[in-house]
A and B are shown apart, each in its own frame.
Chain A
Amino acid sequence: MALAAGAMLGLTAFLPAAEAADSSLLFLAEDVPSGLDPDGPSIAIPTTQLGMVQLLEPLIAYADKASPNEDGVKMPDFSKPVGRLLESWSYDPGTLTWTLKLRHGVKSCAGNEFTADDLLYTYARALNVGGAVPNAWFLLNMASVKGFSTDVFSSDPEVAKKAKTLGDGVRKVDDYTVEVTQTEPNPLFLVNIAVTISQGVFDSKAMKEHATADDPWSYNYANNVNLPSFGPYCLESWTKNSEIRFKANPNYYRGKAPIEHVIIKKVPQGGNRISILRSGQAQLIQGMTPNQYDSIRKMPGLSVSGVYGNEGLFVVMNFKNPPFDNIKLRQAIAYAMPYDRVIQVGYGGQAKKWESVVPSTYPGFVAHEPPYTYDPEKAKQLLAEAGYPGGKGLEKYADQFKLTYVSEKETTLGPVVNQIRSALAAVGLPVTLDPIPQAQYGDRQIVKKDLAFAINDQEKPIGVDTGYAMQLFFVSKAAGGINNMVNYDNPKLDAMWAKARVEPDTAKRDEILAQMQNILMRDVVWLPVVEFKTQWAHSDKLKGFTWNPGNSLLLYDLHY
């Protein structure tokens, strides 16, 4: 409480009374952006993405569904892409070429007009792969855009240099027309250019003004100073590890944002965020536990808006770590999983059982049949078939059964992992808990890929496509699976994806993707447990909540 009081005093000092008006918003989050460059080192951090999406403008987005969900949150209709920086687009299957017609009259925060040069600069920068993470390149490579090959990483400097030159895959036709050619008929192009945090377009003039001889693509400037783009907000000030301030872009082509000033302030302790929200000084908070959201729902003057978007919790079991290479054992764990308890105790009922490895809101999702249910007897039977009756023989794998999770999420994941540990122990699995810091977890998941047994609630495909998820998480490393954290290597699955990714017939493609989901569920490649609500707590005067696949709240949609 002392901390809360201290935090409130601090906020009182920094937030003038006049700012508590309808034109301002104080948003409290677990952190503020560590960087702003989409190819920067902190791209995977949600609070970093929260900052980026306010500044960047995508080429396309999705239209809202006709009616909001039960919490009043507007949901996107993934079958209806709408132009943002694009006025229109067309595709010629004969030449595998997309013709992109750019919107006229769009101005950046700096007042520069959006033209084809900005898009070409953005693509050329992606191809340069000079940032900490080749995020923008990866999505264009995944979409089979000509020229975006792995040659950019060649150890031969000449090959790499040549590959980094934007060739005829992306061509400027005139100031408002760009043509993009693919190497194969890959439908992911349209999906991927909707991903704001990867494919948002830079204000090339502003970027070039801050280029240096050492940093010709302004990575340092974009990551540490400002991210010049055509989005609804402009950066007003930014103190890393403390706060970031946005001011509505006066030139924004869809009209100036209803809320002129937004401050995102770091308040690490969830209890303190609630205290400040209750005091009325803040209007919006995020990153609370389900239990806390549940309590806030009952507080006068406050609301919780939530949506089943694309967030889910799953169990990681690494195929490189015996005994998790045993499919029967994996299935036994799937049947020993206490799904209902996780939903009720871990998420206070704000979750539902997850029946596949892709979000159920995504096109192409297919629920596994028959579903894995909590069935301890069947789990014991499978465990015996796996060669470990009653768990005998697993003692030597005690180290592998350390259930790893992010220690910073103890308040959220603690109740979940405790339910799982108890249930698995009941069938003879020697599970212990192993909370480790977020940074260590991320390194082991993404770089080393050596997490033997872990809980993950942060990975999700932000490209709205089942194939996107397959490419990202499940195909083998040799086939380009960049985030295959369980080291699953199934040549049959790789072959199916190779076929699906170039299949022009949507029905046939969906059929292959459905078969792939069934294989993944049969082998329990991920053990999907629950899909949980993405939630925000806020003043009940704040309206306009709209979910997008990036999961970062777009402040432009909010109003009083």
Chain B
Amino acid sequence: MTQVPPLSAAVPARRRSRRPAIPWLLGFAVVFAGGAIFMAAFGGYVVPFDPTDSAFMPSMPPPALSEVPGLLWSLVTGSQTEPIHWFGTDSSGFDVFSRVLCAPRIDLSIALASNAFALLIGIPFGLIAGSFRNPLTELMMRVSDVLQSFPVFISAMILVALGGQSIINVILALSLLYAPIYVRLTRTEVLTQKSKGMVEASRAIGQSELNIAIKHILPNSMGPALVQSSVTIGFAILLTAGLSFVGAGVRPPTPEWGLMIATGANDIVLGQWWTSVFPGIAISLTVFSFAVIGDALERRYNR
């Protein structure tokens, strides 16, 4: 039996508690997330089929794995002139492969935009709440707590239902729901920064509180929020997909992962797995990639 060596007292406690970094995993995550962002920008130009134009072949399964090398070779040699439905087609005859690749345009756009808005709301409010302690900022924090106390998914559904089903409203709803996270994170960091010597020194030389907050505290307080944002982007992708899955998100026939899963879910029992499984894998890997990147950023920030 191998004896576990005792932890060295020389290892700092903070580093002992941290998981080891996995460079290849981070590499994969960066490449995958980068690919998703690329597809969000250019997916519509590189996919083999128009993602909203129906082929006359509904519910066609993807080629068997054993056929894939031959099909690839035929594409290379030019003997296959027609594009191939690599992931099959759905019940409307849409090419699943093209839709999976085009979906980041919606999912990532919503996630990035909502996160950006949430940051824009959350960081200034967090800075104000941390810098100026008065009844108004206390009220601000309680409102923020109330917003956070509701289940995010239910709140998002209600907000989209009230505002109307559109991409803009989904973005606004997610921004509103994620902003309190950034308010609290920023406020906590501001309170920490306020006790540092540089702030005391700035006060001593006569700088105003507002000037100190903007020039000295804010730049040093944004780190946790920015680290959190990569995780929030992943959650926003999941939430967008979830809203579409229950019919409260984007409208058909927009290529969107959650909507694709919802459309195909009923037919899984008939063995038509491909319409749901491929977008499901895409969501999982994208969210995972952003989580890994977030983890790496956090590691770097805490170094």
What residues of chain B lie closer than 8 Å to A271, measured between beta carbons? 265-270
Stretch at the interface among B1-9, B11-19, B90-98, B175-183: B90-98
Q: Is the CB of B54 within 8 A of A418?
A: yes
Q: Is the CB of B270 within 8 A of A295?
A: yes
Q: Is the CB of A418 within 8 A of B252?
A: yes
Q: Is the CB of A341 within 8 A of B247?
A: no
Closest residue of A by beta carbon distance from B59: A291
Q: Is the CB of A435 within 8 A of B266?
A: no
Pick from A274, A345, A410, A417: contact of B93, CB below 8 A: A345
With contacts A345-B92, A418-B54 taken as known, whether A435 is within 8 angstroms of B252 at the C-beta atoms is yes
Q: Is the CB of A344 within 8 A of B270?
A: no
Interface of B is mostly: loop
Interface of A is mostly: helix
CB A373 to nearest CB in B, in angstroms, measures 17
Closest residue of A by beta carbon distance from B254: A433
**Could you tell me which residues of chain B, from 106 to 146, have a CB within 8 Å of some CB in chain A?**
none
What residues of chain B lie closer than 8 Å to A433, measured between beta carbons? 251-253
What residues of chain B lie closer than 8 Å to A272, measured between beta carbons? 269
With contacts A4-B269, A275-B269 taken as known, whether A421 is within 8 angstroms of B91 at the C-beta atoms is no
Does A289 touch B at the CB level, under 8 Å?
Answer: yes
Q: Is the CB of B252 within 8 A of A291?
A: no
Does A1 touch B at the CB level, under 8 Å?
Answer: yes
CA distance A272 to B263 in the complex (A): 15
CB A314 to nearest CB in B, in angstroms, measures 20
**Could you tell me which residues of chain B, from 9 to 29, have a CB within 8 Å of some CB in chain A?**
none
Q: Is the CB of A289 within 8 A of B253?
A: no
- Give the residue among A269, A411, A435 with the most B Cβ atoms within 10 A: A411
What residues of chain A lie closer than 8 Å to B56, measured between beta carbons? 341, 344-345
Q: Is the CB of A415 within 8 A of B58?
A: yes
Q: Is the CB of A411 within 8 A of B266?
A: yes
Does A112 touch B at the CB level, under 8 Å?
Answer: no
CB B164 to nearest CB in A, in angstroms, measures 11
CA distance A1 to B263 in the complex (A): 15
Does B53 touch A at the CB level, under 8 Å?
Answer: yes
What residues of chain A lie closer than 8 Å to B271, measured between beta carbons? 295
With contacts A433-B252, A435-B251 taken as known, whether A411 is within 8 angstroms of B91 at the C-beta atoms is yes
Contact string against B for A residues 373-414, beta-carbon threshold 8 Å, 1 for contact and 0 otherwise: 000000000000000000000000000000000010011001
Closest residue of B by beta carbon distance from A340: B56
CB B198 to nearest CB in A, in angstroms, measures 55
Pick from B54, B91, B247, B252: contact of A289, CB below 8 A: B91
Closest residue of B by beta carbon distance from A415: B92
Q: Is the CB of B54 within 8 A of A410?
A: no
Q: Is the CB of B270 within 8 A of A410?
A: no
The 15 sampled A-B contact pairs (Cβ below 8 Å) are A1-B269, A4-B269, A269-B266, A271-B266, A271-B267, A291-B58, A292-B270, A295-B270, A341-B56, A344-B56, A410-B247, A414-B253, A418-B94, A418-B253, A433-B251
Among all A-B residue pairs, the 6 with the closest Cβ atoms: A271-B269, A418-B92, A295-B270, A415-B92, A271-B266, A345-B58
Residues of chain A touching chain B, judged by Cβ–Cβ distance below 8 Å, are 1, 4, 269-272, 274-275, 289, 291-292, 295, 341, 344-345, 348, 407, 410-411, 414-415, 417-419, 421-422, 433-435
